[in-house]
Structure 1
Amino acid sequence: MKKKVNIGITLGDPAGIGAEITLKALKDKKLRESATFLLIGDYGTITHLQRQIGTSFNFHIISDIGRLSLSEEMINFINLGNITYNIPYGKIDARCGKSAYEYINMACLILRSQQSLSGLVTAPINKEALNLAGHHFQGHTELLAQRFNARYVRMMFTAENLKIVLVTIHIPLKDVPIAVTKKAVQDTIFTVHRTLNTYFKIKKPRIAVCGLNPHASGGGLFGDEEKKQIIPALINAKKQKINVQGPFPADSLFWKAKQGEYDVIIAMYHDQGCIPIKTLYFNKGVNVTLGLPFIRTSPDHGTAFDLATKNKADPGSMKEAIKLAVEMAQNKPRDRKKKKIYVPIKKRTR
C-alpha cells in the first residue's frame, strides 16, 4: 500500500486561471483521494468560482492557527485573506503579484519549518506582476532557490516518457555560450542522475546530452563549446559510473528519447528544451524544480489571462503536476527523524 502524503498547492496569480485549474483538477476523485491537500490562497475568491465551474467542495478552513493540523477527509485551505481589492481578471497588476507572492511565502514558511508537507505544487504566476509588486525574481524557480539557498537548481519538463532538463534557465540567448560551462553541465548531470534514482526509481538512468551548436558543432566547424565544456563534463560523469552519452545534435535527439532510447535529455538552454515538450504535450507537461530540499512541480504553462473567468481553462497540466508531486513524494525514502515546528499564521481582515 502506498503511503499517504501531504501536498501543498499555491493558487497563483488571482487574475489568472490558477484557482480554476486547481479546483477542476481536484474534481478527479481518485486524484483527490491519493493525498491530503492543503490549498494556500484567499478563500473569498473560491465561493463564486465554485458556482461558475460546478464544484462544491467543503474545505477545512485554516485562518488563524498556531498548529498546522490537516484534515484527511476534506481539502484543507489556508486563508490568507489578502485580496481586499476587485481582482482585475486577465490583466497584469501589482496587487495580484503581491498576493501570489504571499501564497508562495506562506508555503515556504511551512516547508522551512519541516511541518507535514511532502511536496508543493504551484499554480502559475505572472513574472511581470511579481516584479511590479517589488519582488524581483524571474519566476518560481529563482524565488524558491533564493528562499532555500539552493545553489544548483535545474528545471525539468516531463510528460509521458519524455523528460528534459535545462542547463541554463531564464537568461538571454547571447549569454548562453558563456553560461554553458563544464561545471554547469556536470552539476546538471549529477542532479539529474540523483533525482531520477531517488524520485522516479530509475536505478541507472540513461542520460543523453544535447550539443549547444548546430550538429553538436560538427567536429568543431560550428563552435568549440562541445569540445571545451560539454565533453569534459561527460568524461567526469562517466568516471563516476553515470550512464551518460553525447553531446548529440539536438535536432534529432528528442525523437530518439520519445522512442524510448533514453530516460532523460539534458538541453543547454531554455527554448532548446521547451519547444519539443510544449509542442507535443502542451496540456500535459509538468515543470519540476530539481535541486530544492523538497518536491516542487507546476503546470507547464502560464496564467492564461485570456481565459480568466471564462470557465475554459484546461486543467490537464495541473492535474499531471499534482499526480507527479504525489508520485514523487510516495517514492521518496522516509526521513528517519522529522523535526516539527509550529508556525503561527496571522489572520487578515477582509
Structure 2
Amino acid sequence: MGCPVGIGPEIILKYLHSTAAKPAAPPVIIGDAAVLAATGTALGLSLPLHLWHPGEPTVPDRLNLLGVSHLDPTTLIPGRPTQETGTAMAVAIDTGISLCLAGHLAALVTCPISKAALNLAGYRFPGHTEMLAARTGAKQVAMMLAGDRLRVVLATIHCPFREVASLLNQPALVDLVRLTDRALRTDFGLRAPRIGVAGLNPHGGEDAMFGREEIDIIAPAVQQCRELGLDISGPHPPDTIFYQAAAGRFDVVVCMYHDQGLIPFKLLHFADGVNVTLGLPIVRTSVDHGTAYDIAGRGSADFRSLQSAVTCAVRCAANRHGGNRSGTEPTQL
C-alpha cells in the first residue's frame, strides 16, 4: 500500500475501480483496512472487502486485503508521516517480501514510500531497493526504469553529481551489464537483448578532449561484455543514444548517472513508467513516482503508473516461472 498518508491508498482504489486491463487473478493488497476504507469514502469509491489469507485464492470484484496494521484514519493527516504510519508501511513491505519468498505470491508491486518515513519507524534504509536487497539477501541489485518505448538501467543512482565519475569502474559496469542481460532474458523474455551503453561526457568524451572515462572505463567494459557474447555497443554520445533506443535500436540503455537516464525516460513515460529491481530472487516492480505528499488526500493522483507496474509484474512473473510457455498468468500478486 505504500505510505498510508501518501497517494498509495488512492491510486490502489482508483486502479481497482478502473476499466483498465487487469490480471486474471485480482491482486492482494497488503496494508490497512481502515485507511483504505476512509480513502474510498473520501473518493466515493466503494469495493466489498475480502480478508485474504496466505494459501487462499483471491476473489474477483473484491478488495482482497491482507491487513498488517490497525491505524485510526481520524488521527492521520495526508502528507504528514508519523512513526506509526512509517511502521505500518515498513511492516507491509516486509510481509510482501516474506510471502513472495515463501511462494504464496508471484510478485511484489510497491506503492511509494519515503526515506523520512522509514527512518521515523527505525528502518535505516534509503528506500525500497536497499530494503529489498537486505531482506532477500541479494548480492547485487540494480534499478531499471521500464516503458513500452524505453528502458534504462542506472550505473550510479542517488549521489552528488560531482561523485559520479569516481564511482565508475570497469568491473562494476561489466557486472551491471551482465545482470541487465540476464534480467531481460529471464523476466522480459528477450532471447538476445540489445544493450546500448551511454558515455559519461558530452559527445562521448570527444576522443578524451572532454574526459577520459569513456576510454579508460566504459569502452573496456563494453569490449569485455562483447567478448562474453553479449549484444552490446558503446559508449554512445548521451545526446543521441536515447533517440536511437526510442526508435527501436536498443532494448535497454545503460546510463552512467541518475538524471542521464531519468530525464529522457520521464519525458516519454512520465505517467506510465515502471521501476523494476533487477537481481532479486523475487519479482518486484514499483510505481515510478514518489509519495506526492503535496497532493495526498486531494483525489487528484494518477493511477496509470501503478497499472503499468502491475502489468509488468504479471509479465515478468510469467516469464520467470515459465508461464509464457503455457500462456498462463501467475495466480496471485
TM > 0.5: yes
Aligned to 2:327: none
Q: Distance in 2 between matches of 1:204 and 1:115?
A: 29
Asked if 2 retains the 8 angstrom alpha-carbon contact of 1:210 and 1:248, the reply is yes
Asked if 1 retains the 8 angstrom alpha-carbon contact of 2:193 and 2:231, the reply is yes
Q: Which of 9, 17, 33 is 1:19 aligned to?
A: 9
Matches within 5 A, 1:309-348: 309-334=297-322
Please identify, of 263-272 and 47-56, the stretch whose mean Cα deviation from structure 2 is larger.
47-56
Q: Which of 37, 40, 44 is 1:54 aligned to?
A: 44
Aligned to 1:71: 58
**1:241 lines up with 2:234 in the alignment:** no
Q: Secondary structure in 1 aligned to 2:152?
A: strand
Aligned to 2:107: 119
Find runs of 4+ consecutive structure 1 residues off by over 3 angstroms.
28-33, 72-75
Q: Secondary structure in 1 aligned to 2:26?
A: strand
Aligned to 1:206: 194
Q: Distance in 2 between matches of 1:37 and 1:258?
A: 31
Q: Distance in 1 between matches of 2:184 and 2:149?
A: 13
Q: Distance in 2 between matches of 1:75 and 1:84?
A: 19
Shift of 1:26: 1.9
Matches within 5 A, 1:27-46: 27-29=17-19, 31-46=21-36
Matches within 5 A, 1:269-288: 269-288=257-276
Asked if 2 retains the 8 angstrom alpha-carbon contact of 1:93 and 1:129, the reply is yes
Aligned to 2:326: none
Q: Distance in 1 between matches of 2:181 and 2:113?
A: 29
TM-score, normalised by the number of residues in structure 1: 0.87
Unaligned runs of 5+ in 2: 324-333
Q: Which letter maps to 2:29?
A: L
Q: Distance in 1 between matches of 2:174 and 2:93?
A: 30
Shift of 1:132: 2.5
Q: Distance in 1 between matches of 2:196 and 2:258?
A: 16
Aligned to 1:166: 154
Aligned to 1:96: 85
Matches within 5 A, 1:80-95: 80-84=68-72, 86-95=75-84
Q: Percent identity?
A: 38
The verdict on how the C-alpha distance between 1:228 and 1:157 changes in structure 2, with shifts beyond 3 A counting, is: same
Q: Distance in 2 between matches of 1:39 and 1:143?
A: 19
Size of the alignment, in residue pairs? 321
Q: Secondary structure in 1 aligned to 2:233?
A: strand
Asked if 1 retains the 8 angstrom alpha-carbon contact of 2:79 and 2:296, the reply is yes
Q: Distance in 2 between matches of 1:322 and 1:243?
A: 29
Q: Which letter maps to 1:35?
A: A
C-alpha distance after superposition, 1:151-170 (max 9, x if no partner): 21111111222101111122
Shift of 1:35: 2.8
Q: Distance in 2 between matches of 1:33 and 1:253?
A: 34
Shift of 1:118: 0.9
Aligned to 1:215: 203
Asked if 2 retains the 8 angstrom alpha-carbon contact of 1:97 and 1:133, the reply is yes
Shift of 1:319: 0.8
C-alpha distance after superposition, 1:8-42 (max 9, x if no partner): xxx00111100110111122356345333111111
Q: Which letter maps to 1:56?
A: S
TM-score, normalised by the number of residues in structure 2: 0.91
Q: Distance in 1 between matches of 2:287 and 2:246?
A: 20
Matches within 5 A, 1:107-186: 107-112=96-101, 114-186=102-174
Q: Secondary structure in 1 aligned to 2:294?
A: helix
Q: Which letter maps to 2:268?
A: L
Q: Which letter maps to 1:52?
A: A
Q: Which letter maps to 2:317?
A: A
Please identify, of 150-159 and 171-180, the stretch whose mean Cα deviation from structure 2 is larger.
171-180
Q: Distance in 2 between matches of 1:35 and 1:233?
A: 43
Shift of 1:84: 4.4
Q: Which letter maps to 2:84?
A: R
Q: Distance in 2 between matches of 1:47 and 1:129?
A: 22
Aligned to 2:295: 307
